[in-house]
Amino acid sequence: MQNSKSLSELLARGGKRLSLLQTRAAERSKIVEQVRAALPARLAQSVVSAGLDGQRLTIGVVGAVWASRLRYSSDAIRKRVAKSSGKDVLTVRIRVVPPVV
């Protein structure tokens, strides 16, 4: 029988793949914060994910109505994230993310 390790032990041990995953998750969290900071409070609450893939910013929201409203602010968001991250952001893609059950 194998000894079970707790999740905290596995995370503490790290490894190359896990380190890359942690770095990417931290970057995405920072981008979500930057996107939310560029929006009014109610609209910011609808943003559940965001990430940069090259020069494209992809934002995930909880519903189609919020996605539509967010599109009106996409240029301001693009500029804010570009300035905060120091990276060129040329396009913004907004996606409706299914709710987690």
Return the pLDDT at 101. 65
Number of domains comprising the chain: 1
Residue 55: give the domain boundaries: 7-96
Residue 2 lies in a domain: no
Residue 86 lies in a domain: yes
Return the pLDDT at 71. 93
pTM value surpassing 0.75:
yes
Residue 38 lies in a domain: yes
Residues in Cβ contact with 49 at an 8 Å cutoff, skipping those fewer than 6 apart? 28, 32, 58, 59, 60, 97
Per-residue pLDDT of the chain (101 residues), as tens digits, is 566 777 677 667 767 778 788 888 889 999 999 999 999 999 999 999 999 999 999 999 999 999 999 999 999 999 999 998 899 999 999 999 987 76
Residue 101 lies in a domain: no
Cα–Cα dist 101/82, whole Å: 33
Contact present, 56 and 90 (Cβ < 8 Å): yes
Q: Return the SS3 of 48.
A: strand
Residue 1 lies in a domain: no
Return the pLDDT at 5. 72
Return the pLDDT at 81. 92
Cα–Cα dist 53/50, whole Å: 10
For residue 45, the domain's CATH number is 3.30.300.180
